[in-house]
Amino acid sequence: MSTKNMKELEVLKTILYFSIFKHPINETEVFEFANISNQLDVNKQIKFLVQKGVIFKLGDYYSSINDHSLVKRRLEGNQMAENIMPKAFNVGRLIAKFPYVESVNLSGALSKGYYDNEGDIDFFIITKSSRLWIARTLLILYKKIFLLNSKKYFCVNYFIANDQLEINERNRFTATEMITLIPVSGKHMFFDFMNSNTWIKNYFPNSNLLNVNVIEDVKKSSFTELLEYFLSGSIGNFFEKAFRKITLKKWESKFKHLEKEDFKIAMKSTKSVSKHHPQNFQKKVIHQLNKDYQKIKQEHNLEVPLEHA
């Protein structure tokens, strides 16, 4: 098989990406997550790739893994995601009531419509500028005290401030995570966030935002408003710097096994960004995807351009 054009490669890259997660996808989903102009081209290229044995048809789904049990796994995960979604939204609305939280969004597997017993409910949170670390610390304290440090339904592992809405890490992984976010609260801030990251469309021109107008903003309590007022000046500035310094020092000690560059990405701790991804999943996914590309090249003579982390 000779090297093909980018249309075929886009379809292949999309299916290979979701296959890393053992998540077969259908033709409509391939179109949504591929940089290709129309559904007809997607369908033609899927047929071509199946005939050549590059990918496999599993009922109405496609994967690079020839295992029909993955469809059952996906469908069960879809149902569990549907069942857990009301709880996820309730938790998200609770988070939205905390000081300086301006937008709460579901991320991770649940935002792709999948959930299982081993999963967490992940949240991507946008805060007021210069108060990210106060907002984060209050949420972590709540988790530790009232949830006994369980992150099962309260995994708050990614924060950005509203003065740093543009994401610097631009790759297939981050683009996928961002385009699949499900906003729970703060629809206007969510819309600003997406408008600040139009580069996502370079990866997924066919994906459409959810109807953010149906998302209701959560009203802060009088206590929260009072606390925000109290921490608006120099006292707040002091705690903001202190919480960031304490957290960063703790992480540097706890995750000293990480390479310096890996730590800077996986545990990013700037004034406007806080990530707690010690497994550095982004790097692992991109690395595995590139390994799969190399395998495709060796077995099927299809040269797929490598991804960058």
The domain that holds 51 is classified in CATH as 1.10.10.10
67-105 pLDDT tens trace: 999 999 999 999 999 999 999 999 999 999 999 999 999
The answer to whether position 75 is within a domain reads: no
Same domain, 147 and 58: no
Same domain, 130 and 22: no
The answer to whether position 78 is within a domain reads: no
The answer to whether position 231 is within a domain reads: yes
Same domain, 169 and 29: no
The amino acid present at 220, given as its one-letter code, is K
SS3 156: strand
Same domain, 60 and 203: no
Count of domains for the chain: 2
Burial of 212 per CB tally in 10 Å (0-12, 13-18, 19+): middle
Which residue range(s) make up the domain with 30? 6-67+284-300
d(CA 11, CA 41): 9
Q: How many CB atoms lie within 10 A of CB 5?
A: 8
The answer to whether position 306 is within a domain reads: no
Same domain, 187 and 288: no
The answer to whether position 21 is within a domain reads: yes
Same domain, 134 and 63: no
Structure-token pair, residue 247 = 């957290």
pTM score: 0.94
- pLDDT above 90 covers a percentage of the chain that reads 91
d(CA 26, CA 43): 10
Same domain, 62 and 190: no
Enumerate residues 6+ apart whose C-beta is below 8 A from 205.
Answer: 35
Same domain, 30 and 171: no
Q: How many CB atoms lie within 10 A of CB 224?
A: 16
Same domain, 158 and 134: yes
The answer to whether position 72 is within a domain reads: no
Same domain, 183 and 262: yes
Per-residue pLDDT of the chain (309 residues; tens, 9 = 90+): 444 555 568 999 999 999 999 999 999 999 999 999 899 999 999 999 999 999 999 999 999 999 999 999 999 999 999 999 999 999 999 999 999 999 999 999 999 999 999 999 999 999 999 999 999 999 999 999 999 999 999 999 999 999 999 999 999 999 999 999 999 999 999 999 999 999 999 999 998 866 666 688 899 999 999 999 999 999 999 999 999 999 999 999 999 999 999 999 999 999 999 999 999 999 999 999 999 999 999 999 998 889 987
